[in-house]
Every structure is written in C-alpha cells, then in structure tokens.
Amino acid sequence: MTTEEPLLDIRNLQTHLVLEEGTAKVVDGVSISLHKGKTLALVGESGCGKTMTAYSVLRLVPSPPGRIAGGSILFEGRDLLALPEKKMQDIRGNKIAMVFQEPLTSLNPVFKVGDQVAEVLRVHRRMNKKQALQRTVELLNDVGIPSPEKRVNDYPHQMSGGMRQRVMIAMALACEPRLIIADEPTTALDVTVQAQIMDLFQHLQEKQHMALLLITHDLGVVAEAADTVAVMYAGRIMEYTDVRTIFKTPLNPYTKGLLGSLPHFGSDRLQPILGVVPSVLDFPKGCTFSNRCEHVMDTCLHNEPELKNVNGGAHMVRCWLY
C-alpha cells in the first residue's frame, strides 16, 4: 500500500434500517480505503450489506427506513456525511459516479439514451444542448458503442443489455469522476459481454486513473479486476487484504467456504458452507458466522471477534482462530 492519502476512506460506518420489527444493522463498523487508480472489491452473498455500503458513500440510502448512524466517509479528505445535501449533489455523478446492476431499470424508458447522458453534462458542466450532445457522442464512442451519432437517438428498449450497460458507464464517465462505484455491473450480462465490459473498465482506469469500488459476488471477476478485496458477511468485514492473498491464503472460514463453494473441475463434490445467511434482524450472538462455521468454538458463541491484523500488517481478519 502507498503512503499517499487514500481517495476514499470509510471509517467505522454504521448504516441501520429502522423497521417495524426492530433496527437492522445492515452495515456494522465497516472500514475500508481505496487509493487513486486502484480497484477495491466488496464481496459477499446477497444481504451481506455490500450494496448498502455503496449507497451510504453516495448518501443514497433510502430514508426512511435507512439511516446512517455513525462513522465517517472521507473522500479527498472531506467527510461526505457532514456535507449539506446541496454540496453532495455536486459530488454525485460528478466526482463519484455509480453504475447499477440492472441497466434496463436504471435508465428512463421514455427518454432517448443520448439525452440521458447529456443531462449529466448539462447539470454538472453547465453545457448547452449542442455541446452536451456532441460530448455524449464522444463518450458513447469511448465506451465502444458502434455508430454513436445514430445510437444517441435510441430509446433504452432498442438496445441490448450490453449496450445499455455501456450507456450507463458512459453516463458515469461523463464528468470524468475520480471514483466509480459499480454495483454488480456485469451480473445481468452474458459472459462474453461481461468480458467486454470488464475490459472496458480496466482500459478506462488506466487512461483516467479512476478508482473503482467494485461490488460483486463473482469471485472470478474479483480475481481478475481487483487490487484489494474486502469479504463481507452479515454487515461486517470478515477479511480484508490484497487480491493474491485472499485467493492463496484465505484465513476466515467464511472466505474459505466461499472459495470451496466454487465449482472447480476435478472434484466430485463441492464443499459448501452449511446453512443459510441469517436474516438481518436475527444475526447470531458472538461471531455472526458462528452458526454456520465448521471451526466454531465456545468463545465464538458469546464474543464477537475484532477485525485484526495478522501476518505483519496487511492481512486483516475477523476470527477467533487467529
């Protein structure tokens, strides 16, 4: 890791959902940091809090029932959680952009895609209609849409899933953001299109030195794209280190379980994690993974382990075994 100040530094983030049945701590004490030009992958199964962490960064957590209850999110040294909403609007889509999972539902079906990309430029860059459209054509060209001067007049339904995701990325890139948050950007896409999109991200990162916060459940994508990886479970970070270490010497039993669940060739059976992810309102006492863990000990049932450094610093793990 570099000694340079991180671009994004999330410290002890607490995001809660206040529901009738009680308060669900969907993000509980998450601390991660991301440097310029790097990629951090947030990995975990559905309901682990990875999307809520991303929404918290942009302060897009729906409220009610959502509430950011504590912690700080430093972006270029400023705490986003302390900014007034007006200032936050300047950052959203401008310095930090987001790419969502489902490109069909995140584009407005009644506007042409060109106008939707141009809108970002008109709002943040105060361009006039003509300039904005011209820049849009360039952007669509950058993300690999053929004959962009014609495609700007398409409506979202006239495009394929891969093309729509490219439009979303063009929109995210419009203001040359410092950070892109991509929430499962390729999950809805076919594998050959996924390869094209991940290739595009990599290309753009090299060119523009953007940082990428990549949220995904696909460990293959993580292995190929990420520099550092944070494995989340039940709102907490279970393991946090560089990508090679995660795959080579995973320590937390949950990380090991995730890797063991991957179908790999040459084995007759998979070694899945037993049981299911607990509901957000019903996390077990002690370690949140204790009810599914093979190595569970008495202390795991009563005391929650801290996320601590092992192997001399760069490898963080939350487990009583270490």
Partner 1 sequence: MSTQDLLRVENLVKTFPVSSGFFSRSVARLTAVNDVSFTLQKGETLGLVGESGCGKSTIARLVLRLDEPDSGTVHYNNDNIFSLKGSDKKGFRRKVQIVFQDPFSSLNPRKRVGSIIGEPLLIHKSLPRKDIPDRVLELMDMVGLRKDHYNRYPHEFSSGQRQRIGIARALSLEPELIIADEPVSALDVSIQAQTLNLLLDLQKEMNLTYLFISHDLSVVRFISSRVAVMYLGKIVELASTPDLYAHPLHPYTEALLSAVPVPDPTRENRRILLEGDLPTPVALPKGCVFAGRCPIVDKTICFTKQPPLEEKRRGHFAACFLRNGNN
- Tell me how far, at minimum, the Cβ of 262 lies from partner 1, in Å: 6
Binding-site member from 18, 104, 276, 321 for partner 1 (CB under 8 A): 276
Return the range that interacts with partner 1 (CB under 8 A); candidates 84-92, 105-113, 129-137, 218-226. 218-226
Cα–Cα distance for residue pair 285/126, rounded to 1 Å: 52
E strands along 184-314, which residues?
A: 211-216, 228-233, 236-242, 307-310
Tokens of 156: 């979202």
Provide DSSP, 282-310: -PPSSSTTTTT-TT--HHHHH-PPPEEEE
The answer to whether 146 contacts partner 1 (rule: CB under 8 A) is: yes
Closer by beta carbon to partner 1, 42 or else 68: 42
Cα–Cα distance for residue pair 269/264, rounded to 1 Å: 9
The answer to whether 196 contacts partner 1 (rule: CB under 8 A) is: yes
Binding-site member from 191, 207, 298, 313 for partner 1 (CB under 8 A): 191
Whether 230 and 43 have beta carbons less than 8 Å apart is answered as yes
Residue 49: partners with Cβ closer than 8 Å, 6 or more residues away: 15, 26, 27, 28, 30, 232, 234, 235, 236
The answer to whether 22 contacts partner 1 (rule: CB under 8 A) is: no
Binding-site member from 107, 173, 222, 307 for partner 1 (CB under 8 A): 222
Binding-site member from 60, 88, 123, 223 for partner 1 (CB under 8 A): 223
CA distances from 288 to 11, 253, 292, 319 (A): 20, 12, 9, 10
Whether 213 and 57 have beta carbons less than 8 Å apart is answered as yes
Contacts with partner 1 by CB under 8 A: the residue count is 48
The answer to whether 277 contacts partner 1 (rule: CB under 8 A) is: yes
Closer by beta carbon to partner 1, 249 or else 299: 249
Binding-site member from 260, 284, 291, 296 for partner 1 (CB under 8 A): 260
The answer to whether 46 contacts partner 1 (rule: CB under 8 A) is: yes
Binding-site member from 221, 237, 238, 251 for partner 1 (CB under 8 A): 221
Q: Is 1 helix (H, G, I), strand (E, B) or coil?
A: coil
The answer to whether 270 contacts partner 1 (rule: CB under 8 A) is: yes
Place of tokens 């309901």: 47
Return the range that interacts with partner 1 (CB under 8 A); candidates 78-86, 93-101, 219-227, 298-306. 219-227
Binding-site member from 95, 135, 217, 256 for partner 1 (CB under 8 A): 217
Tokens of 308: 């601590």
- Report the interface residues with partner 1, using CB under 8 A: 45-46, 146, 160-163, 190-196, 198-199, 217-224, 226, 243-244, 247-248, 257-265, 267-274, 276-277
